[in-house]
């Protein structure tokens, strides 16, 4: 049973990387299989508790961005994570499945915790287990995300594999498994949780910071000049692209010429992703040109693509009733899928059911 699950954290401003690497790629999937898109607010408290109103607003804004980008509540389940308790319940069980050694290898924790690891929250450390629970509470098979989430998705597969193996006899005895679609000696014949396929593809799997071509564009980057926010107006977008770090050379006419030029590579990649063309197409057009020519063209393209979405996001967030109603219906539909999964899991574990 194929099913898509993905999400964005309501921390700070949604940016072009979130849009090109994730949300825009979700839209066509809605016509291919069942899709669930979550605003992962429980993850938004791992790096410190935001202001109450800020978290509420950011949750609505991420929802507005989904809708403005073309996620259709008639086709997809859209909800915020904290409203479906099965996520945190399953995460606890996964805390007891995953090994310390696995989590110690997670590079995002090292980056986000910085130098002072002793003072990072336990939640930030355990975050990948909650992400695995987000996906597996729906037994989702496909997860479209940016390249930075690759390691977390591998962990999700490791957790699913260990659960399936450790409880193989119980899964069989209770008759709750499904036949493994790709039999292998490492896994039992019947699985409870699927081994999720990451969907990391296209020209924009990793959009880089406009200030530093070796760092990914992030909501949590302290510098607002490092990213193009979906809510930026035309002047702000033009200013940020004008100020974007580049080298002094003209653009090459072949993609090989972008090697060792991370900032140039990033801007060409953004142009390609926004226009639906390849980097080579763009270099065919702009090869030999200076950034003084390329940057204004990129600004115009970005403004053209983003302005209609920005307007729609403004309209939706001005009167949040519509958003809240969509999230409420979504949470009900999501619960209807996750509740029976957790019922099975409690049985598999052996929790005494007295209710």
Footprint of ligand ATP on this chain (CB under 6 A)? 8-9, 11, 17-18, 21-22, 145-146, 148-149, 204-207, 216-220
What 3 state SS string does 183-198 have?
CCCCCCCEECCCCCEE
Minimum distance from residue 229 beta carbon to ligand ATP (Å): 11
DSSP string computed for 47-92? T-PPPHHHHHHHHHHHHHHHHHHT--TTTEEEEEGGG-THHHHHHH
CB of 15 closer than 8 Å to CB of 228: yes
Nearest residue (CB) to ligand ATP, 168 versus 225: 225
Within the chain, how many helices (H) and strands (E) appear? 14, 7
Nearest residue (CB) to ligand ATP, 93 versus 145: 145
Q: Is 219 a catalytic residue?
A: yes
Catalytic residue among 75, 117, 162, 216: 216
Running DSSP on this structure, what letter comes out for residue 341?
H
Q: Is 245 a catalytic residue?
A: no
Nearest of 187, 142, 183 to residue 30 by alpha carbon? 142
Minimum distance from residue 167 beta carbon to ligand ATP (Å): 29
Which phi and psi (to 5°) does residue 191 adopt? -115, 145
Catalytic residue among 112, 239, 295, 333: 112
Nearest residue (CB) to ligand ATP, 150 versus 170: 150
Nearest residue (CB) to ligand ATP, 108 versus 280: 108
Q: Is 110 a catalytic residue?
A: no
Minimum distance from residue 207 beta carbon to ligand ATP (Å): 4
Minimum distance from residue 149 beta carbon to ligand ATP (Å): 4
Rounded CA-CA distance 108/113 in Å is 8
Show which residues are catalytic.
112, 216, 219
């Amino acid at each position: 049973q194929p099913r898509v699950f993905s999400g964005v954290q309501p921390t700070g401003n949604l940016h072009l990387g979130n849009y090109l690497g994730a949300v825009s790629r979700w839209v066509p999937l809605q016509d291919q299989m069942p899709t669930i898109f979550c605003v992962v607010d429980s993850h938004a408290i791992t790096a410190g508790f935001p202001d109450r109103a800020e978290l509420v607003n950011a949750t609505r804004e991420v929802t507005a961005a989904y809708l403005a980008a073309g996620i259709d509540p008639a086709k997809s389940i859209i909800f915020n994570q904290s409203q479906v308790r099965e996520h945190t319940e399953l995460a606890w069980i996964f805390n007891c499945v995953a090994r310390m050694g696995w989590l110690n290898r997670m590079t995002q924790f090292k980056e986000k915790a910085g130098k002072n690891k002793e003072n990072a929250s336990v939640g930030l450390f355990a975050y990948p287990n909650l992400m695995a629970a987000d996906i597996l509470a729906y037994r989702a098979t496909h997860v479209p995300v940016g390249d930075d989430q690759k390691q977390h998705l591998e962990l999700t597969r490791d957790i699913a594999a260990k659960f399936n193996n450790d409880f193989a006899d119980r899964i069989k005895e209770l008759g709750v498994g499904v036949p493994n679609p790709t039999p292998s000696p490492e896994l039992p014949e019947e699985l409870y949780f699927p081994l999720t396929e990451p969907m990391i593809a296209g020209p924009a799997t990793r959009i880089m910071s406009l200030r530093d071509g070796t760092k990914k564009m992030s909501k949590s980057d302290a510098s607002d000049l490092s990213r193009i926010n979906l809510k930026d107006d035309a002047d702000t977008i033009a200013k940020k692209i004008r100020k974007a770090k580049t080298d002094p050379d003209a653009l090459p006419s072949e993609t090989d010429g972008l090697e060792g030029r991370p900032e140039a590579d990033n801007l060409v990649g953004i142009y390609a992703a926004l226009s639906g063309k390849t980097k080579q197409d763009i270099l065919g057009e702009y090869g030999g040109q200076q950034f003084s020519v390329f940057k204004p063209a990129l600004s115009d393209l970005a403004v053209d693509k983003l302005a209609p979405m920005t307007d729609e996001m403004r309209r939706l967030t001005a009167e949040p009733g519509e958003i809240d109603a969509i999230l409420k219906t979504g949470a009900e539909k999501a619960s209807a899928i996750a509740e029976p999964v957790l019922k099975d899991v409690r049985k598999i574990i052996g929790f005494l059911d007295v209710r």
